[in-house]
Amino acid sequence: MNRGLLTFIAARVVQTAIVLLLMSLAVYLLIGLMPGDPVDLMIAGDPRLTPDDILRLRAVYGLDQPLWSRYIAWLGAALSGDLGASRLYARPVLDVMGPFFLNTCVLMSVSFALSVIVAVPLGVWAARRPGSIADRAANAFAFAGISMPVFWLGLVLIIVFSVLLSWLPASGTGRGGGGAFDAVRHLMLPVITLTIHETGVLLRYVRSAMIETLRQDFVRAIRAKGASAGWVLWRHALPNAMLPVITIVALSFGGLFSGALVTETIFAYPGMGRMIYDSVMGNDFNLALAGLLIATVLTLAANLAADLLYAWLDPRIRIGGAR
């Protein structure tokens, strides 16, 4: 690794941190748009509070401070690990988030891995013969995947597999004691739902990236030298096509999270998405704030990883900028 690469990595990390900081402010402001504030809810719960009590409570919670100082206070606490307590669960936010986060990670990673495993070979294969029956079928499948409302797909799958066929459960995680197999059974429908959509997205990009690469002159040169089609495909075209695909994949991470939110809601799967939804609906400011923040961190981290991976893989950059 040359110094140029290290500088680049450092620069990108610093940039990401700055963006994250700004995003935390944006998220904080957005959550502030939710109806009411913590004290209002207390008032609703206890009508005996006098205006004096309300004033004191406001002061205690720092709600009489201007927005800036509230934000700074929150930021300070957050950076030292204190994200406040959840109103809905009456426990510290971090405690509450843990299991949700884990569940979502499982859901997202399995779906992501599956969709990559399906989309990449399929996209490469379809790119070999653009316009053929196989290619058109793959294209149609991809279109359907990206155009389908995820929640509807989930509903349909539930109707088919849970209601009509009773093969798979419709909700929950099954971790309560059914063992690993039961957990897998509970995961299957949510994962399939999420995977279909994600596969469609990736398939389209892989296919067009491959087609674009195969069209280039260097591929024809290699083939003219007598290399077989397969060799060309895997050794030469694919690595080149992978560069833009990696970027797309990282960018689609945000979309994956949104899909996960919907999927978790349909399947009553206790994950981050579901948690955010419930906390927003329930006016649980701290929890919603933390959840939104974590989601943003994840997406930014994915983007950063993509950038770094891209920089590492692009031979032009690796060699050090000579042009």
Partner 1 sequence: MMDSPPILAAEYVTKRFRKDSGLFARGEDVTALDDVGIVLAAGETLALVGESGSGKSTLARVLMRLVRADDGRVLFRGTDIARLRGADLMAFRRAVQMVFQDPFASLNPRLSVGRIVAEPLAIHGIGDRAERRKRVAAALESVGLAAADAGRAPHAFSGGQRQRIAIARALIAEPEAIVLDEPMSALDVTVQRQILGLLNDLKVSHRLAYLFITHDLGVARALADRVAVMHRGHIVETGAAEAVFGSPVDPYTARLLAAIPVLGAGRRTGGAP
Partner 2 sequence: MRTLLYRFSGQRAAVASLAFLVLLALLAAAAPLVAWALGADMTAVDLYHRFAGPSLAHPLGTDELGRDVLVRLLYGARVSLAVGLIGALAASIIGTLVGLGAGLAGGRVDSIVMRFTDGVIALPLLPLLIVLAAADPTKLGLPPGFGRGSEGGLLRIGIIVALVGWTTVARLVRGAALSLREREFVLAAEAQGASRLRIAFVHLLPNAAGPIVAATALAVGNVILIESVLSFLGLGIQPPAASWGNMLTNAQDMMLSAPALAFYPGLLILATVVACNVAGDGIEAALDPRAETGRD
**Residue 308 CB contacts under 8 Å (≥ 6 apart), including other chains:** 9, 12
Instruction: Decide: 229 and 128 in contact? Cβ < 8 Å.
Output: yes
Q: How far is the CB of 26 from partner 2 (least distance, A)?
A: 7
111 binds, among partner 1, partner 2, none (CB under 5 to 8 A by kind): none
The answer to whether 303 contacts partner 2 (rule: CB under 8 A) is yes
Tell me how far apart the alpha carbons of residues 82 and 70 are, in angstroms, rounded to a whole number. 14
The answer to whether 8 contacts partner 1 (rule: CB under 8 A) is yes
Q: How far is the CB of 240 from partner 1 (least distance, A)?
A: 18
For residue 105, which of 245, 250, 264 has the smallest C-alpha distance? Answer: 264
- Binding to partner 2 in span 235-264, by CB under 8 A: 251, 254-255, 257-258, 261-262
The answer to whether 17 contacts partner 2 (rule: CB under 8 A) is no
The answer to whether 19 contacts partner 2 (rule: CB under 8 A) is yes
- Binding to partner 1 in span 258-317, by CB under 8 A: 311, 316-317
Nearer to partner 1, 189 or 246 (CB): 246
The answer to whether 44 contacts partner 2 (rule: CB under 8 A) is no
Nearer to partner 1, 3 or 48 (CB): 3
The answer to whether 305 contacts partner 2 (rule: CB under 8 A) is no
15 binds, among partner 2, partner 1, none (CB under 5 to 8 A by kind): partner 2
Nearer to partner 2, 119 or 266 (CB): 266
254 binds, among partner 1, partner 2, none (CB under 5 to 8 A by kind): partner 2
Q: How many residues bind partner 1 (CB under 8 A)?
A: 13
158 binds, among partner 2, partner 1, none (CB under 5 to 8 A by kind): partner 2
Burial class (CB in 10 A: 0-12, 13-18, 19+), 101: middle
For residue 100, which of 295, 241, 254 has the smallest C-alpha distance? Answer: 295
In the chain, the amino acid numbered 165 is: L
> Quick one: CA dihedral 113, 115, 118, 124, positive or negative?
negative
**Residue 87 CB contacts under 8 Å (≥ 6 apart), including other chains:** 38, 41, 282, 283, 284, 285, 286, 287
What torsion do the CA atoms of 157, 162, 167, 173 make, to the nearest 10 degrees? 90
Sole binder of partner 2 in the list 7, 17, 36, 320 (CB under 8 A): 36
The answer to whether 211 contacts partner 2 (rule: CB under 8 A) is yes
Provide the 8-state DSSP code for 270: -
Q: How far is CA 273 from CA 92, 129, 132, 258, in A?
A: 18, 40, 40, 7
The answer to whether 48 contacts partner 1 (rule: CB under 8 A) is no
DSSP SS3 for 85: strand
Q: How far is CA 96 from CA 93, 279, 314, in A?
A: 5, 11, 41
- Binding to partner 2 in span 115-154, by CB under 8 A: 130-131, 143-144, 146-153
The answer to whether 5 contacts partner 2 (rule: CB under 8 A) is no
The answer to whether 323 contacts partner 1 (rule: CB under 8 A) is yes
The answer to whether 43 contacts partner 2 (rule: CB under 8 A) is no
DSSP 214-260: HTSHHHHHHHHTT--HHHIIIIIIHHHHHHHHHHHHHHHHHHHHHHH
In the complex, the residues that contact partner 2 under the rule CB under 8 A are: 15, 19, 22-23, 26-27, 30-36, 130-131, 143-144, 146-153, 155-156, 158-159, 163-164, 211, 215, 251, 254-255, 257-258, 261-262, 265-266, 273, 276-277, 280-281, 288, 291-292, 295-296, 298-300, 303
In the complex, the residues that contact partner 1 under the rule CB under 8 A are: 2-5, 7-8, 311, 316-317, 320-323
